[in-house]
């Protein structure tokens, strides 16, 4: 028997835990009946051309909100889903041809690892069926995305959102190429870029991203975290991301506020230095963060995962520092670089800096 006034359920997902323990996120049940589409889903169907005959390749775990939502939406449309147990760059490319994949969603780390495959390996695989490649979850280095668009063509779409569901920004390849580094224009939610005094900042000036969102949320059994993420009047929420909006309305991410390094009174966001290190041909992955300094308060430090066959020695350190010094200001240069066989990336692609 049908349940009277049945409404569509929703998942209680957990945040990725990038800045602390993962937090359960409770959102109100949507008012729609199960057969009715959610507004966001309807928007995404048009944006990313989801349809019944699509074949979606998921290289990420389904306990994370983005891949779970993509898989659910594919199945809701009657499409086919192929799920990888774990991401492997060459296997991912082979699966596209094997299953005639039309859609997929990735994170920037996956892009970097595929780009660092030998050219002869990359050229072996037929990617001609791939129509839409979506990425999110972490900032993508500009050089990495440029190289991906050159390789795959203008099929790459980016979006910015959070498990909390505050707001949503999106851009296609053409928009990104005309505004390199953007995560898109805000299409859901009302964005304000505010300073520490909660006052609006001018265009181009980085500040905390606050959203008047269509979806309310609270953190499960954590009233303090919920209060920290909510403005005093209750009208806006944030996850602590820092960014700015340009004159054309495109949003750019700078970093998480909790990752900011304060060195000698200067606020330093490490994302730019991380992105540059990852773009170096001898670097497989990199993390940049602050460590205590008696005089400066904090100093910039980097930890690098070299590519296979490269030893992390003084000559590589000298090469990396020279590479950075030509591209970033002196304050953003690491005072030291350590080397590790592998950095702790979450399966979602986010760097586990704690």
Task: Please choose, from the candidates 310, 13, 273, the residue with its C-alpha nearest in 3D space to the C-alpha of residue 165.
Answer: 13
Mean pLDDT of the chain: 91
- Rounded to two decimals, what is the model's pTM? 0.86
Residues 306-343 as b/e (b if ≥16 CB within 10 A, e otherwise) read: beeeeebeeebbeebbebbeeebeeebbbeebeeeeeb
CB pairs under 8 A, 24+ apart, for 168-176?
168/40, 169/251, 170/47, 171/250, 173/149, 175/250, 176/145, 176/149
The two three-digit tokens of residue 216, written as one number: 């309310």
Q: Could you tell me the residue ranges of all domains in the chain?
A: 260-339
Quick check: 280 and 318 in contact, CB under 8 A? no
Question: Rounded distance, CA 15 to CA 66, Å?
Answer: 11
Question: Rounded distance, CA 130 to CA 139, Å?
Answer: 23
CATH classification code of 260-339: 3.30.300.30
Question: Rounded distance, CA 71 to CA 120, Å?
Answer: 32
Quick check: 253 and 183 in contact, CB under 8 A? yes
Other C-beta atoms closer than 10 Å to the C-beta of 217 total 19
Question: Rounded distance, CA 20 to CA 207, Å?
Answer: 21
Which residue carries 């500009």 as its tokens? 142
**Would you give per-residue pLDDT tens digits along the chain (354 residues)?**
778 888 888 888 887 666 667 789 888 888 888 888 777 778 888 899 999 999 999 998 888 888 998 999 999 889 999 999 999 999 999 999 999 999 999 999 899 999 999 999 999 999 999 999 999 988 899 999 999 999 999 999 999 988 777 889 999 999 999 999 999 999 989 999 999 999 999 999 999 999 997 567 888 988 888 898 899 999 999 988 999 999 999 999 988 888 889 998 888 989 999 999 999 999 999 999 999 998 889 999 999 999 999 999 999 999 999 999 999 999 999 999 999 999 988 776 778 776
């Amino acid at each position: 028997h049908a349940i009277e006034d049945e409404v569509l359920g929703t998942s209680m997902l957990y945040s990725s835990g990038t800045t602390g323990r993962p937090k359960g996120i409770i959102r109100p049940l949507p008012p729609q009946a199960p057969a009715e589409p959610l507004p966001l889903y309807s928007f995404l169907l048009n944006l990313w051309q989801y349809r019944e005959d699509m074949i979606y390749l998921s290289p990420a775990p389904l306990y994370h909100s983005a891949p779970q939502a993509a898989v659910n939406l594919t199945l809701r449309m009657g499409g086919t889903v192929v799920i990888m147990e774990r991401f492997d760059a060459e296997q991912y490319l082979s699966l596209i041809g094997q299953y005639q994949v039309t859609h997929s969603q990735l994170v920037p780390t996956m892009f970097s690892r595929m780009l660092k495959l030998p050219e002869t390996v990359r050229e072996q695989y037929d990617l001609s069926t791939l129509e839409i490649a979506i990425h999110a979850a972490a900032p993508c280095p500009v050089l990495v995305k440029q190289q991906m668009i050159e390789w795959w063509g203008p099929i790459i779409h980016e979006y910015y959102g959070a498990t909390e569901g505050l707001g949503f920004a999106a851009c296609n390849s053409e928009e990104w190429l005309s505004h390199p580094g953007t995560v898109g224009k805000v299409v859901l939610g009302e964005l304000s870029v505010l300073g520490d005094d909660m006052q609006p900042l001018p265009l181009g000036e980085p500040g905390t991203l606050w959203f008047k969102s269509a979806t309310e949320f609270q953190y499960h059994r954590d009233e303090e975290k919920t209060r920290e993420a909510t403005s005093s009047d209750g009208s806006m929420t944030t996850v602590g991301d820092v960014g700015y909006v340009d004159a054309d309305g495109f949003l750019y991410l700078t970093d998480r506020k909790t990752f900011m390094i304060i060195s000698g009174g200067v606020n330093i966001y490490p994302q730019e230095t991380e992105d540059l290190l990852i773009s170096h041909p001898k670097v497989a992955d990199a993390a940049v963060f602050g460590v205590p300094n008696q005089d400066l308060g904090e100093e910039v430090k980097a930890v690098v995962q070299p590519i296979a066959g490269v030893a992390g020695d003084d000559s590589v350190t000298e090469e990396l520092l020279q590479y950075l010094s030509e591209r970033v200001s002196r304050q953003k240069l690491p005072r030291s670089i350590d080397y590790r066989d592998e950095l702790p990336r979450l399966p979602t692609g986010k760097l586990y800096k704690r």
